[in-house]
Amino acid sequence: MSAQAQIDRFTPMFAIAAAAELAEMHPQTLRQYDRIGLVSPQRTRGNTRRYSLHDVAQLREIARLSAEGLSLEGIRRVLQLEDRVRELERQVRELEHALTEERMQRPERRVFAAGSAGGEVITLRRGTRVRRNAEVVVWKP
């Protein structure tokens, strides 16, 4: 690893024995999870497994879900759905940011106001006001 390489939670750095100890599992369990695709550690040139902090956290999550009674196939599906949720949340953040940027770039930004009849929403050009009705209504029971 070069001096400029950045270590983050996805950096593969743990051999199987260390990852198993951190996840409080037997190394054979980690091999089985790798075979069935629940956790996919990176491989070195010598084809040995290297686990990241993310992999260890995922192993702990698998153990938690297993203790709650989920099958390995159920756990695989939960992990897939959680990954999909994270991806969709990332996309929403990007779209919100793009929308905010677009709104700030447009000089003809619009302003909204509540209408007088029925609470409808009225679009106004920036710098204009809603004409208010000055009628007085008397209510008699």
Q: Which CATH architecture has domain 16-105?
A: Orthogonal Bundle (1.10)
Cβ atoms of 49 and 34 within 8 Å: the answer is yes
By mean pLDDT, which of 23-37, 73-87, 115-129 is the weakest?
115-129
- The dihedral sign for the CA sequence 62, 63, 64, 68: positive
Report the C-alpha gap between 54 and 46 in whole angstroms: 22
Which comes out higher in pLDDT, residue 71 or 105? Answer: 71
Which comes out higher in pLDDT, residue 105 or 70? Answer: 70
Report the C-alpha gap between 60 and 39 in whole angstroms: 11
Report the C-alpha gap between 54 and 44 in whole angstroms: 17
The model's pTM = 0.64
- pLDDT range class, residue 84, cuts 50, 70, 90: very high
